[in-house]
Amino acid sequence: MNWCRKNSLFILFFIELGISVYAQTPLQLSLKDSIQRALENNENIEMFKQNKESAKWQLSFARKAKDVSVTWQTNLYRINSDINNTNFENTLSMQLPISTGRRIEENINLYRLKLDSADISLKNKEQEIRFAVKEAYYNVLQKKNLVTIAESGVRMSSEQLLVIQTQYEEGSLVKSDLLHIQIELANYEQELVDANGALEIAENQLLSLIGLPDDTDFETIDKFEYSPYPMTLEECLEFAKANRLDSKIANNAVKQTETQIKILKSEEKPNVTAIANKSISDNNASHFNRSESWEVGVKMTWKIFNNNATKDSVKAAEANVKRAKAEVVGVDKNIVLQTKNAYIQMKTAEKNIETSAAAVLKAKENLSIAQARYEEGVDILLNLTDAQEKLIRAGTNYYTALYEYNLGRASLEKAIGK
């Protein structure tokens, strides 16, 4: 019995320890997961979804204007005469539009366009959020790389300081060499502090975008990668022309204003409606024996004069069409410019990757030579620290080129609506 109790406590201890370790494990966060979280938690996405939902029901409401409408009307009259008389009247009416000069049809088209616009706007907002998350995620990766570079600078200077401190104490070095390496170490330590601060800010920005608390402990599991972009500039421009959502939104706005003109012009045409009415009345609310009548027929209304109010409205709408078409031209020009700029920035960073990678290899070799020469006593400390600085800068340039290439690639895909 004691054995079971002891082993139960032992097992329970390790279960609790496992739970504690598991709870402290950082959240493993990929770029794909980050984007998905942002799309699920972003308040703007919900707003655009509700805009789309509202447009869907507005379209449904517009379609019902083609159907039969039924109205029940009850009137109570008190007639002033020598004999007090109360009259109850009930009327059942049914109406069915036959011809509205295409007003109903064009109104349905207008709300269908508004639904399309709401759907495109939702997708456009989703694209903006995807890019914002990519930008924030890549920024975290870059800041982590810069922390690594700063840590290597601190580590190398610390190792050199230990050697130089010993040499100084033995009297083989002057104090200026010791001060030089101490100053360099202090500079690298400051760069490390700045790099960690920038990393913390970048992580908070990412957590805010994806809807996680700012104290969430997480690790980014994706890394910067390089692969040549498969599309030429001309292919990117063609793709952007066919797929940029803000261009589709602008063209949809033109169609909406053109449809509004058709709706306004329909007011100048006759409206024909089939009607059926049945009326019953009595001076008793529960009996209807005094009179009963019904009518069936067709009603036509035609607004033949309204002091040119319709024409004025049409002129205003035509001006809106011209404005919307001008906006389309501006949007399309901006798409071309954004695509070209993003493509150039990506290709520039691509060239810098190759150049900076070669510079890193040369800087490593240069540092090895400088270390050997210094240890052999044929070179001065300044040349050694200069070689170390060159390696730090070459590594920084390489990671920056990778960052700018990946960010430029994401910017290009946003620019072409991919």
Q: Supply the pLDDT for residue 306.
A: 73
| pLDDT above 50 (res 2) | no
**Chain centroid to CA 100: how far?**
42
Q: What is the mean pLDDT of the chain?
A: 86
pLDDT value at residue 79? 66
- Return the half-sphere exposure (C-beta side, CA atoms, 13 A cut-off) of residue 56: 7
Instruction: With a cut of 70, say whether residue 1 has pLDDT above it.
Output: no
Q: What is the DSSP string of 342-354?
A: HHHHHHHHHHHHH
How many other CB atoms are found less than 10 A from the CB of residue 258?
A: 19
For residue 387, is pLDDT > 60?
yes
Between 175 and 140, name the one with better pLDDT: 140
Residue 83 has pLDDT above 50, yes or no: yes
How many CA within 13 A on the CB side of residue 331? Answer: 21
Q: What's the pLDDT tens digit per position in 198-234?
A: 999 999 999 999 999 988 999 999 998 888 999 999 9
Backbone angles phi, psi at 73, to 5 degrees: -125, 130
Which one, of 403, 393, 239, 260, lies nearest residue 321 by Cα?
Answer: 260
pLDDT band for 12, please (50, 70, 90 cuts).
very low
> Taking 80 as the threshold, does the pLDDT of residue 146 lie above it?
yes
pLDDT grade, residue 9 (50/70/90)?
A: very low
Element (H, E) at 374: helix 309-375
Q: How many CB atoms lie within 10 A of CB 135?
A: 17
pLDDT band at 57 (very low <50, low <70, confident <90, very high): very high
Residue 104 has pLDDT above 60, yes or no: yes
Res. 381 pLDDT band, cuts 50 70 90: confident
243 CA to centre of own chain: 16
* pLDDT at residue 81 in the model: 56
In this model, does residue 311 exceed pLDDT 50? Answer: yes
The three-state DSSP-derived secondary structure of 214-251 is CCCCEEECCCCCCCCCCCCHHHHHHHHHHHCHHHHHHH
**pTM of the predicted model over 0.75:** yes
Residue 37 has pLDDT above 90, yes or no: yes
Residue 203 CA to its chain's centroid (Å): 18
pLDDT at 279: 82
How big is the chain by its Cα radius of gyration, in Å?
A: 38
Section 336-342 average pLDDT: 95
